[in-house]
Chains A and B, each alone.
Chain A
Amino acid sequence: MRRTLLIAALLLALPWLAATQGQAQTAPAAPGRNPISAEELELQSALRGGVVDGRVSIPNPQAAVLIQPEGRDWRAFHNVTLAWVGGIAVLGMLGVLVLYHLVHGTTRIAGGRSGSTILRFPTIERANHWMVATSFVVLALSGLNLTFGRHVLLPLLGPEAFAALSQWGKYAHNFLAFPFTLGIVVMLLLWVKDNLPTWVDWEWLKAGGGLFGGAHPPAERFNAGQKLMFWITVLGGGVVAATGFLLLFPFAATDIAGMQLSHMLHSILAVLMIAVILGHIYIGTLGVEGAWDAMSTGEVDVNWALQHHRLWAEAQLARERAEAAAAPGAVHAGAAD
């Protein structure tokens, strides 16, 4: 923008420079001749950073925009800002995780596996998680490809293969937007009650989640980290999905400026989410022993549960015991009715 201003200022000065050299041939103010030339208008618009638009007879409002300087800003965002932010976020997160893993290693189940398990995620929750997860991975890869592919994959694959891959990536991106969005909504409905912040979270956070040694602070069904993850996924994913739909249906709800803004939000949030999700994936797989079970079979080891989600595990175990004790009574009650 600053550069634009500078150029504009220089151009403004040009007629004056020319005049001093005695070669002024700009519009003489003949009577009745239009005082404001179109060039000046363009200049003024450029100075304001606004678009120059007018009227066209074809029924396409986009066509009426003559010059839209915002394209430059968008280009700078896409080629510079996004590339750097995305690169740093994704690569940086990968680096942090590798470093952490090298230093800290996998968090073991304190006291080893007990052998008895407890149901953590029922099938519906797991199915939904994996629907979101798989679509996210494909969306993320195909999305990253749009920014980084030409630098990374194009030299490897050659133009034809890379274009074909990107084409399929685009189709996948477009179609998987729907299961992803659906999953986000279902996820919200399933888990929102367990993700409302409580005082326990505060304690958990103060203890750093036990991430860097020390005892694991107590946690409910979801610890504060997971709650953060949830909200990032639901809110971030929601915004990414919403902006994505604006891009999926061009000009249906917004104009070019809106689409540029949508794209900016969409892409910057997406790369940040990718970074966060990388962390999530690490914790769920390599980072924490026993965590994988929660989303694979749904049954977690009791010791793991007590270690990571003590409040929830104790409540669950108490309920199981109570249910076991009350079971015959229930039959009676039913008979009495």
Chain B
Amino acid sequence: MLIKRSDRQIAQSARAGKRLAAAYEGLSAGGLDRRAFLRQAGLGGVGLAALGTALGGPRLAQAAGATGVIDHAKPVEIRRNICTHCSVGCTVTAEVQEGVWVGQEPTWDSPINRGTHCAKGAAIRELVHGDRRLKYPMKLAGGQWQRISWDQALTEIADKLMEIRAASGPDAVFWLGSAKFSNEGAYLYRKLAAFWGTNTVDHQARICHSTTVAGVANTWGYGAQTNSYNDIRNSKTVIIMGGNPAEAHPVSLQHVLSGKEINRANLIVIDPRFTRTAAHATEYVRIRPGTDIPVIWGMLWHIFENGWEDKEFIRQRVYGMDEVRREVAKWNPQEVERVTGVPGEQLRRVAQMFATQKPATLVWCMGATQKTVGTANVRAFCTLLLATGNVGISGGGANIFRGHCNVQGATDLGLDVVTLPLYYGLDENAWRHWCRVWDVSYDSMLARFESKQMMETPGIPSTRYFDAVLLPKDQVQQRDNLKAMVVFGHGGNTVTRMPEAQKGLEKLELLVVADPHPTTFAVLGNRRENTYLLPICTQLETSGSRTASNRSLQWGEKIVDPIFESKDDYEAIWRLTGALDRAAERRNMPIRFQADMFKHIEVVNGRPTPESILREINRGGWSAGYCGQSPERLKAHMRHQRHFDLVTLRAGPDAPEEVRGDYYGLPWPCWGPPELRHPGTHILYNTNLHVMDGGGTFRARFGVERNGVSLLAEGSYSKGSEIQDGYPEFTVAVLKRLGWFDELTAEEKASLERHFGANIDRASWATDLSGGIQRVAMKHGCVPYGNAKARAVAWNLPDPVPVHREPIYTPRTDLIAQYPTLPDRRAFRLPHLGQSVQNRSLQVARDYPIILTTGRLVEYEGGGEETRSNKWLAELQQDMFIEINPADAAERGLRDGAWALVRGPEMPEGKFIKVKALVTERVGRGVAFMPFHFAGWFMQEDQRRKYPQGTDPIVLGESANTVTTYGYDPVTFMQEAKVTICQIRAA
């Protein structure tokens, strides 16, 4: 039956066949039907020239001639890396031939994705073939992009940086890092900022889960997902609130839906939008945007009312639940319905399921975090989990789905204005710890900063960089305004208030964008000089580890060499430090970088090796258990993926010795030095396991007592613990009191002696570089960080018990008086307005009757420059759109697919953004939704011509954040991206 042409036949029709094949070759490689595309993209004449070269010409990839055809006669190498898009951590299996990535195969072995991908992962090969990548360093000269060499670029950048440093101090430079970095890159970048002498170093976690980290860490110790994607398979009830993982983390749905099927679990989606996730829910609860706390308190009201709470759990492991009860008592079903719109009966049903059909887990994403009450939201979520005893158990927990592929790792490694790597903070102890790890003197580090005070003051968060540029100098609490930004791997359109951002970017004295693509940062402002683009390769073109949302570290190996002239982050940072050294020398400034920063890091051919960087992280990463994940162990995990269990993530007894008993990716905390073979911690705070099997307790982070009440656990301890009650964190002093001090080896003692001398008693599990304290504690079954209660009351936060506060811009002006936002205040060196802006709502709400919320699409990610340049993905979403309810659309005469004009209350007078209307019942009446991945149109100005030729993304569109407005979380300066107001009209 199978019709195959014989060789003879092929030879016969060779001529005709060749012609046809040639015709198809054009299609196959060129990719895009130009005319259709032009029509779709609605391009004007301006972009045509640039487009012509990119579309008509042959594929430009360095791998010339690579059309993805595997030559079956030649050997194929298999390389494994991790998808660079979301935080699920899917393994990518690449087929490489002669240095060209020719094919992608499913990775059946990975316990995380089991062969699967989403649209982005399945199209990822295009990233390293991308003819729209930034190909060489460029700079703006008189408003025109000009190709320059790496050396020239770095020399000019370094000179300018030094000039700014001399004139305005080190705090005038913003080091904006990336969740796209590997752990090693993130760590190196944080180290660079420290050596530069500023704490103004940040990354995307600010705008995705900074409030989660703050809220969760303030509750029970660490700000991370407590369980894992895989563990959701054990859940009986899953609430997804403020998240749309079907689009943002599609592969996670494999585990969620499997769990739902296997356990016949309840899958409840609480969201203002009927999302693709909601389509698979057993129960969908629609809420008014910005009312998460009333919904949670409304559930707790039913739980307390009916006695469904886990009383024993609360008694043993929770501090301050009674204060929560007092707040919750206000949220009777009537009030909840008045504020949130959720009927009491539905909420009762959901509350009952969550409290009684256990284990129950709560999943949240940016719907909860990107709010002026983000930290409080997260705290309320944690409180609900605590009240129902759903923490520290398999199938339960706070399953916080992080955003970018390594946002967890980049957060852990301190790309954050408030801490050094691994949550040590910024106080003198923290600095001294890292100086010990880096083998530099504390005084030399201090000399790099403006002052000791600035050294210990949190920097300026990425959500407010433009305010730090634009505000009057006396409003910014540092020597001068922000003058320069060095942006690695960060889109400019993901931060709210873009009209302000544009002004800020224009006023900067120096802007450096180091990225595989020229991001919105490069084109938003109308800059003409002092703007540099550095081509950085993707993580697929280099090696290193990245931490998935579930805290598992996965090692990615280089698939192909960096394409064009791009370099990896390690090499770029290495070269930059060299250029800074030379610039300092030229100016006779004493500061130097390279020698000290890379003292214990191996550099091969100008590239610091990620292995050596990871070993340095291991040497200093005790506080979050980043000490046991040596590069060798991680590589072994990647080699033996198939031995890890799908549900428990643990390698069984039949696994090779080097990974046997480990949890996949050694999810942190992975205590002790690598030789100790701690298996990692799959489920945080799980007292059912021995600490050496990944068990744990709530962290004793907030002292031992408060107002006379003990903060330590009562009668609860992890399995096998010799101390069968709560205990504080381990220090030398504690060891001595327990009589365990002498169990330290002579070397461990010598190390403590050397580093701490007379202060040896204060050396702790987190600062002891020998790891001895951790080892001894665990030998006795104790968790190094202590055993405390989780805090239902976090007294150090603005709202110790979360209270509802209306969004800054709300159409429910009737609720502002009762539930006002916080008063104006200052934080992070900047003013922070609250009520004064909220009071504007009263005037503008009438003209902006629709609530605007934002979110993700499955095809795009983050700022979207990378994914919108990927032709396979770009084809699937060719237009920026706004989802609007049919009733609202009918009132405005808007048809599905028609152009709409949208404006927000803070946009310049008379300006609109122009987007396609998507008329759908996904959004309720009075609510509209826009995805935030688009850029390249700015208030109806097509900016395609502003991209360097040939690097413009295929799809451009208006940015949602042109419309979004003021509003920041008081704890982290998280932006309010989920609730604002807008007006929509037909174009």
Q: How far is the CA of A30 from the CA of B267 in the complex (A)?
A: 12
Decide if B13 touches A160 in the complex (CB within 8 Å): yes
Chain B residues, CB < 8 A from A160? 13, 16
B877 in the interface (beta carbon within 8 A)? yes
Q: Size of chain A's interface in residues, with CB distance under 8 A?
A: 10
A59 in the interface (beta carbon within 8 A)? yes
Chain B residues, CB < 8 A from A30? 282
Chain A residues, CB < 8 A from B611? none
Identify B283's interface contact among A32, A58, A59, A164, CB under 8 A. Answer: A32
Interface members, chain B 866-887 (any A CB < 8 Å): 875-879
Q: Size of chain B's interface in residues, with CB distance under 8 A?
A: 15
Which chain A residue has the least Cβ–Cβ distance from B283? Answer: A32
Identify B876's interface contact among A31, A58, A164, CB under 8 A. Answer: A58
The minimal Cβ–Cβ distance linking A54 to chain B, given in whole angstroms, is: 11
Chain A residues, CB < 8 A from B144? none
The minimal Cβ–Cβ distance linking B244 to chain A, given in whole angstroms, is: 15
The minimal Cβ–Cβ distance linking A159 to chain B, given in whole angstroms, is: 10
Given contacts A30-B282, A32-B282, A33-B282, contact A59 B879 (CB under 8 A): yes
Q: How far is the CA of A30 from the CA of B878 in the complex (A)?
A: 39
Decide if A57 touches B877 in the complex (CB within 8 Å): yes
B861 in the interface (beta carbon within 8 A)? no
Q: How far is the CA of A30 from the CA of B859 in the complex (A)?
A: 33
The minimal Cβ–Cβ distance linking A330 to chain B, given in whole angstroms, is: 61
Chain A residues, CB < 8 A from B876? 57-58
Chain A residues, CB < 8 A from B40? 59
Decide if B282 touches A59 in the complex (CB within 8 Å): no
Chain B residues, CB < 8 A from A59? 40, 878-879
Q: How far is the CA of A164 from the CA of B878 in the complex (A)?
A: 38
Q: How far is the CA of A59 from the CA of B38 in the complex (A)?
A: 13
Decide if B282 touches A57 in the complex (CB within 8 Å): no
Interface members, chain A 162-197 (any B CB < 8 Å): 164
Decide if A57 touches B13 in the complex (CB within 8 Å): no
Chain B residues, CB < 8 A from A58? 875-876, 878
Chain A residues, CB < 8 A from B878? 58-59
Q: How far is the CA of A164 from the CA of B16 in the complex (A)?
A: 10
Which of A31, A58, A59, A164 has the most chain B CB within a 10 Å cutoff?
A59
Q: How far is the CA of A58 from the CA of B878 in the complex (A)?
A: 7
Q: How far is the CA of A160 from the CA of B40 in the complex (A)?
A: 37
The minimal Cβ–Cβ distance linking A200 to chain B, given in whole angstroms, is: 56
Interface members, chain B 4-41 (any A CB < 8 Å): 13, 16, 40
Chain A residues, CB < 8 A from B284? 32
The minimal Cβ–Cβ distance linking B955 to chain A, given in whole angstroms, is: 11
The minimal Cβ–Cβ distance linking A57 to chain B, given in whole angstroms, is: 5
Q: How far is the CA of A57 from the CA of B897 in the complex (A)?
A: 11
Which chain B residue has the least Cβ–Cβ distance from A30? Answer: B282
Decide if A57 touches B859 in the complex (CB within 8 Å): yes
Q: How far is the CA of A240 from the CA of B283 in the complex (A)?
A: 55
Q: How far is the CA of A164 from the CA of B876 in the complex (A)?
A: 35
Interface members, chain A 252-299 (any B CB < 8 Å): none
Which chain A residue has the least Cβ–Cβ distance from B267? Answer: A32
Q: How far is the CA of A59 from the CA of B40 in the complex (A)?
A: 8
Chain B residues, CB < 8 A from A32? 281-284
The minimal Cβ–Cβ distance linking A154 to chain B, given in whole angstroms, is: 15
Which chain A residue has the least Cβ–Cβ distance from B877? Answer: A57
Q: How far is the CA of A33 from the CA of B284 in the complex (A)?
A: 10
Which chain A residue has the least Cβ–Cβ distance from B920? Answer: A55
Interface members, chain B 837-892 (any A CB < 8 Å): 859, 875-879
The minimal Cβ–Cβ distance linking B727 to chain A, given in whole angstroms, is: 45
Interface members, chain B 275-293 (any A CB < 8 Å): 281-284
The minimal Cβ–Cβ distance linking B119 to chain A, given in whole angstroms, is: 10
Q: How far is the CA of A311 from the CA of B244 in the complex (A)?
A: 84
Chain B residues, CB < 8 A from A33? 282
The minimal Cβ–Cβ distance linking A161 to chain B, given in whole angstroms, is: 11
Q: How far is the CA of A160 from the CA of B12 in the complex (A)?
A: 11
Chain B residues, CB < 8 A from A164? 16
Chain A residues, CB < 8 A from B349? 31
Which chain B residue has the least Cβ–Cβ distance from A160? Answer: B13
Interface members, chain A 308-332 (any B CB < 8 Å): none
Q: How far is the CA of A31 from the CA of B346 in the complex (A)?
A: 11
Q: How far is the CA of A58 from the CA of B16 in the complex (A)?
A: 34
Interface members, chain A 37-91 (any B CB < 8 Å): 55, 57-59
Q: How far is the CA of A276 from the CA of B13 in the complex (A)?
A: 41
Which chain B residue has the least Cβ–Cβ distance from A164? Answer: B16
Q: How far is the CA of A234 from the CA of B442 in the complex (A)?
A: 98
Q: How far is the CA of A214 from the CA of B877 in the complex (A)?
A: 75
The minimal Cβ–Cβ distance linking A160 to chain B, given in whole angstroms, is: 6
The minimal Cβ–Cβ distance linking A182 to chain B, given in whole angstroms, is: 27
Chain B residues, CB < 8 A from A55? 920
Which chain B residue has the least Cβ–Cβ distance from A56? Answer: B876
Q: How far is the CA of A59 from the CA of B877 in the complex (A)?
A: 8
The minimal Cβ–Cβ distance linking B348 to chain A, given in whole angstroms, is: 13
Interface members, chain B 46-73 (any A CB < 8 Å): none
Encode A21-42 as 1/0 by CB contact (under 8 A) with B.
0000000001111000000000
Chain A residues, CB < 8 A from B281? 32
Q: How far is the CA of A164 from the CA of B875 in the complex (A)?
A: 33
The minimal Cβ–Cβ distance linking A172 to chain B, given in whole angstroms, is: 19
Q: How far is the CA of A204 from the CA of B1 in the complex (A)?
A: 62
Which chain A residue has the least Cβ–Cβ distance from B346? Answer: A32
Chain A residues, CB < 8 A from B13? 160
The minimal Cβ–Cβ distance linking A271 to chain B, given in whole angstroms, is: 32
Q: How far is the CA of A33 from the CA of B281 in the complex (A)?
A: 8
Which chain B residue has the least Cβ–Cβ distance from A34? Answer: B279
Q: How far is the CA of A32 from the CA of B237 in the complex (A)?
A: 14
The minimal Cβ–Cβ distance linking B864 to chain A, given in whole angstroms, is: 14
Which of A31, A32, A55, A58 has the most chain B CB within a 10 Å cutoff?
A32
Q: How far is the CA of A335 from the CA of B13 in the complex (A)?
A: 76
Chain A residues, CB < 8 A from B16? 160, 164
The minimal Cβ–Cβ distance linking B43 to chain A, given in whole angstroms, is: 14
Q: How far is the CA of A164 from the CA of B281 in the complex (A)?
A: 55
Q: How far is the CA of A55 from the CA of B918 in the complex (A)?
A: 10
The minimal Cβ–Cβ distance linking A263 to chain B, given in whole angstroms, is: 24
Which chain B residue has the least Cβ–Cβ distance from A55? Answer: B920
Q: How far is the CA of A9 from the CA of B13 in the complex (A)?
A: 51
Encode B873-915 as 1/0 by CB contact (under 8 A) with A.
0011111000000000000000000000000000000000000
Interface members, chain B 239-292 (any A CB < 8 Å): 281-284
Q: How far is the CA of A55 from the CA of B349 in the complex (A)?
A: 32
Q: How far is the CA of A55 from the CA of B281 in the complex (A)?
A: 20
Encode B507-531 as 1/0 by CB contact (under 8 A) with A.
0000000000000000000000000
Q: How far is the CA of A59 from the CA of B879 in the complex (A)?
A: 9
Q: How far is the CA of A273 from the CA of B715 in the complex (A)?
A: 96
Encode A146-168 as 1/0 by CB contact (under 8 A) with B.
00000000000000100010000
The minimal Cβ–Cβ distance linking A7 to chain B, given in whole angstroms, is: 27
Q: How far is the CA of A31 from the CA of B876 in the complex (A)?
A: 35
The minimal Cβ–Cβ distance linking A119 to chain B, given in whole angstroms, is: 51
The minimal Cβ–Cβ distance linking A249 to chain B, given in whole angstroms, is: 14
**13 other A-B residue contacts (CB within 8 Å) besides A30-B282, A160-B13:** A31-B283, A32-B282, A32-B283, A32-B284, A33-B282, A55-B920, A57-B859, A57-B876, A58-B875, A58-B878, A59-B40, A59-B879, A164-B16
Q: List 16 A-B pairs, Cβ < 8 Å.
A: A30-B282, A31-B283, A32-B281, A32-B282, A32-B283, A32-B284, A33-B282, A55-B920, A57-B876, A57-B877, A58-B875, A58-B878, A59-B878, A59-B879, A160-B13, A164-B16
B: residues with CB less than 8 A from A are: 13, 16, 40, 281-284, 349, 859, 875-879, 920
Closest 4 CB pairs of A and B: A32-B283, A32-B282, A57-B876, A57-B877
